[in-house]
Amino acid sequence: MSATDGLMRGMEVIDTEAPLSVPVGGATLGRIFNVLGEPVDNLGPVDTRTTSPIHRSAPAFIQLDTKLSIFETGIKVVDLLAPYRRGGKIGLFGGAGVGKTVLIMELINNIAKAHGGVSVFGGVGERTREGNDLYMEMKESGVINEQNIAESKVALVYGQMNEPPGARMRVGLTALTMAEYFRDVNEQDVLLFIDNIFRFVQAGSEVSALLGRMPSAVGYQPTLSTEMGTLQERITSTKEGSITSIQAVYVPADDLTDPAPATTFAHLDATTVLSRGLAAKGIYPAVDPLDSTSTMLQPRIVGEEHYETAQRVKQTLQRYKELQDIIAILGLDELSEEDRLTVARARKIERFLSQPFFVAEVFTGSPGKYVGLAETIRGFQLILSGELDGLPEQAFYLVVKEIILSTNSGQIGVLPNHAPIATAVDIGILRIRLNDQWLTMALMGGFARIGNNEITVLVNDAEKSSDIDPQEAQQTLEIAEANLKKAEGKRQIIEANLALRRARTRDTVFCHLLIPERFAGSCSLSRHDHKADRLWALPVLGTQTPAFYRGTLFDFDLVHIRIHSGPFPN
């Protein structure tokens, strides 16, 4: 279990008369251990009054929970397309820099918040630098609480690649033993991360060679299947709780038939594949929706609605993938109307699969979102049904946090959970806050209704700041000022004053566009004109999803904004 330097024949050996045992329970949270259960983080000793042996039998059949149930992660792409099984085993495939660590930390965070569970991370045979980076990132994101270690959500066990093969082979068992205590004694749902399961097999091969065993296929140990089964069969659901394992899988030379990954695949319930192409587009988490799979995605387990929605999403994305070569050569205009619609929806789906993470808030500045499964399904159904076809792709990226509206009694600010009101809208500016940027519109009077986290604004006319021609706005202002001077009679003066207010509002809105700190860049506002019809699309307040707008009334513009304080839609 440790270095053999200095050992020689004839040295005294002491039998402990006990199996290798490690500390378990709440004392392990926020700490780093080696394979022997010794803390290696220089934070002092650990309470060792409660220990457990690392070599144990798998739970008996009578103890197992045979009910198949989904383990909700709060991550849309995972829950919809490759759902995790409660007490199952998931393979995590991905190269360097595509977001494996961030995904792992988000899962650790979500399991603690949504399920009241904890996590155990087993670093098996990987680089010491990676283990240190993970530890520092966990402290930065709050997964490990430096001020109060007991409030941390994860325990870490490291057996890095500089350790002897015996330690690397058993570090996974040490991590599993700590997870089993949380499951069996504390009756919690536990996440067990193993990075990397291939190194466990590799260490077993080295130990086998040292013991003089005859090598098997491709030089692996003859006991490969037995060793893998001993570890994997202990990872399961019982009537007390569950251990759901996410295992990073390295595939040597990308050969899936290699005995090491092939033996691992036999135990996996789901695979989550991270795509470098999606990461290059800036879509995170970069989970490949077509390559990721799950045995749980069956109608009898997840239900007809979930299954049908997931299949339609995959079919749309698959068709888009098939059309990409044609688009690259001939262009989008050469596609049929049906294919163009499919491409538009697929691009919206790609962006809707993205999601801000809690643990990435310190890097992105965007608040994280936990999205329930029901809301995830509903969001994708809206895209697939065509209800959002009129919205641009960018609308699925922006986050609206606040709206400032001009009323007859002055300006009002609207945030999520605003009290229900109905009010007249004055000629003035509608300001929409997107994080630290502002989007402005000129409204020409009307009515607004606020309630149930939605705003419906019915206005005489509305113009986006970027649509206003500065020269035309200035000319209109000068004409309005001249007309006011020439106005005679009460009616003419009132009309001239209104025209002047409208002109000044348009001019002011354009000026907002010129102020850098209020410039929203390439905004997601779109308008569709059909004679008198005008359909405005604004992002949802408090989320990353566009609102839904229903038609028009007479010659008015209907601006409908949904405000969501909860997780949907993200």
Known catalytic residues?
100, 126-127
Place of tokens 């929409």: 432
Q: Which residues pair with 553 in a beta bridge?
A: 556
Burial class (CB in 10 A: 0-12, 13-18, 19+), 436: exposed
Which of 461, 467, 448, 445 shows the shortest CA–CA distance to 525?
Answer: 467
Q: How does 61-85 read in b/e, with b if 16+ C-beta sit within 10 Å? A: eeeebeebbbbbbbbbbbbbbbbbb
Q: Which residues pair with 439 in a beta bridge?
A: 432
Which of 413, 93, 112, 59 shows the shortest CA–CA distance to 256?
Answer: 93
**Rounded-to-integer distance, Cα 137 and Cα 195, Å:** 16
Contacts of the segment 275-281: beta carbons below 8 A, 24+ positions apart: 275/94, 275/98, 276/95, 276/97, 276/98, 278/350, 279/97, 279/98, 279/99, 281/350
| Cβ atoms of 431 and 439 closer than 8 Å | yes
Q: Which residues pair with 80 in a beta bridge?
A: none
Report the side by side order of strands in the sheet with 154-159.
32-33, 154-159, 118-124, 189-195, 242-248, 89-93, 270-273, 293-294
Which of 417, 368, 347, 383 shows the shortest CA–CA distance to 546?
Answer: 383
Secondary structure of residue 282 in the 3-state scheme: coil
Place of tokens 């004055």: 426
**Rounded-to-integer distance, Cα 207 and Cα 542, Å:** 55
**Rounded-to-integer distance, Cα 445 and Cα 178, Å:** 64
**Rounded-to-integer distance, Cα 77 and Cα 89, Å:** 18
Secondary structure of residue 416 in the 3-state scheme: coil
Burial class (CB in 10 A: 0-12, 13-18, 19+), 123: buried
Residues 172, 234, 176, 255: what is their CA dihedral angle, to the nearest 10 degrees?
Answer: 30
| Cβ atoms of 77 and 355 closer than 8 Å | yes
**Rounded-to-integer distance, Cα 479 and Cα 474, Å:** 9
Secondary structure of residue 456 in the 3-state scheme: strand
Neighbours of 421 (CB within 10 A): 13
Q: How many DSSP H helices and E strands does the chain contain?
A: 15, 21
**Rounded-to-integer distance, Cα 239 and Cα 248, Å:** 27
**Rounded-to-integer distance, Cα 369 and Cα 379, Å:** 14
Secondary structure of residue 27 in the 3-state scheme: helix
Secondary structure of residue 55 in the 3-state scheme: coil
Residues 84, 89, 93, 98: what is their CA dihedral angle, to the nearest 10 degrees?
Answer: 50
